[in-house]
Structure formats: structure tokens, C-alpha cells
Amino acid sequence: MMHRLIISILISLLVPSAAYSGSIKGKITYSSEVKLPKSFETGKYKKACGQNVPNEKLLVNDKGLMNVVVTIEGKKLAGKPGEYTLDQKGCRYAPHVMAMMKDSVLKIHSSDPINHNLHSYSFDNDPVNVMFLPNQDDYDLEFEEPEIVKIECDLHGWMSAWIIVTDNSFFDISGKEGTYSIPDLPPGKYTVSAWHEVLGSKSQKVTVKDGDTEINFDFSDVTPQISKK
């Protein structure tokens, strides 16, 4: 019996204990009635772009709100920068909304047979204004500071995208059903923020323990302000 006890103690000392972590998940909704924006007419560019380009400023599917960036703020949250791709395809930016940790690299590509001009609007990161020709090589852009960056094409006024540069790698973007999930969070107290390009931001305080924590956001009390552009 003593022999078994000694073996058990040795195993417990040699084998590292399980790393406890939690996750934050939930759903972003817009449950009030909303008039979705009309698609953009491309006019003289219809041969290359198609007659219409979808307007992605406000996408609601059965009350699920898409393209909401959910971020986590808290102590000792870090992560690893990555590499992301933004394409100019069908005279729109794909994806329309994206998020990445600071010091990540954005590879900008153009799949279109016509010229585009990518113009970024930022304060803490250097803005760029780059012409893209058909079959041009990718352009690498690095973001060193957290902020919300808007992207536009000066040649096609309907083209826009948003890049949310974060301070850590704990973030997600709500999908077609409005759901999101941020795993592998160490236990602790955090602020969860949800950002949408026309509905603004909401935030909640949360204490994460081992297991899942559900945080939902409803933007129904916000009136969408959507310009024609």
C-alpha cells in the first residue's frame, strides 16, 4: 500500500496539472424591425463589377447581427500576431469586416480585372494610399497599434471595409447567425466589447471561470444611421 502511495505522489509531481481555461460565447442580435440597405448600382463599371454590389453595412438574419467584432480587455492577455488576407474581388472588399492583433501582417490582393485604389484611414497607424492594377503583386501592410481602421477605394465609392486592430488575440466576429466564440481565456475579470460599423459599441464586465460563459448583446435600442455611400 505504501509503495502505491509513493508512486501516486511521484506521478502527481512529475505530470503537470491541467491548465484551466474558459471561453466566452454568445449571440449578437438586432431584434427590432430594420430596413436593410439596398445594394449598390455600379453604373459604368457593370461590365467588370456586375450590375449590383451587395451593401454589407447592416446584415441581419433572423435577428442575428453579422459582422460584429467582439474583443476582450483584461490584464495579462497577449497572443501571437498572424497573417491575414484582404481581397478586392467583384468590386468589393472580402472580407468586409476583419480583426487582427497588432503587429500582424495584412496581405492585400486584387482579383479584379480593373484598377482599384486602396486608401486606409487611421491615426495610430500610418495610412496608405495604394493603386492596384490587374495581376499586381500582393501588398503587405502591418498594423503596429490597436485602433479601428477604415478602408476605401477612391475609384469606386461604394467599396469599404473595416479592420479592427486589437491589443491581444482574444477576439471573434459574429457570423451569419450572429454567434461568436472566444476560447482559451485564463480565469479572470474582463471587459467584453462588441463593435458594429453603424450601430456603435456595447460592453459588459464579466468574470471568467473554467468552462463556458455566455454574453449576449442586443443592439435593438440603436437606430441605424446608414449613408448612401
Question: How many CA atoms lie less than 13 Å away from 129 in the CB half-sphere?
Answer: 3
Query: Considering the domain boundaries, does residue 39 fall inside one?
Result: no
Query: Could you give the number of structural domains in the chain?
Result: 1
C-alpha 98/C-alpha 148 separation (Å) is: 10
In a domain, 125, yes or no: yes
Q: Lowest mean pLDDT: which of 59-63, 76-80, 86-90, 138-142?
A: 76-80
34-to-19, 63, 64, 95, 158 alpha-carbon distances in Å: 44, 10, 12, 23, 21
Instruction: Report yes or no on 191 lying in a domain.
Output: no
For position 120, what pLDDT does the model report? 97
CATH code assigned at 163: 2.60.40.420
Q: What percent of the chain has pLDDT over 90?
A: 80
Q: Give the whole-angstrom CA distance, residue 125 versus residue 37.
A: 31
Residue 119 lies in a domain: yes
**What would the 3-class secondary structure string for 70-129 be?**
EEEECCCCCCCCCEEEEEECCCCEECCEEEEECCCEEEEEECCCCCEEEEEECCCCCCCE
Nearest to 200 by CA among 73, 30, 50, 35: 30
Mean model confidence pLDDT for the chain: 90
User: Is 189 a domain residue?
Assistant: no
pLDDT at 14 over 70: no
Q: 98 lies in a domain?
A: yes
**Tens of pLDDT, residues 168-221:** 999 999 999 999 999 999 999 999 999 999 999 999 999 998 889 999 999 998
Residue 111: which domain range?
78-169
The answer to whether position 16 is within a domain reads no
Q: Is residue 179 part of a domain?
A: no
Q: What is the mean pLDDT of residues 28-39?
A: 90
Predicted pLDDT of residue 1: 54
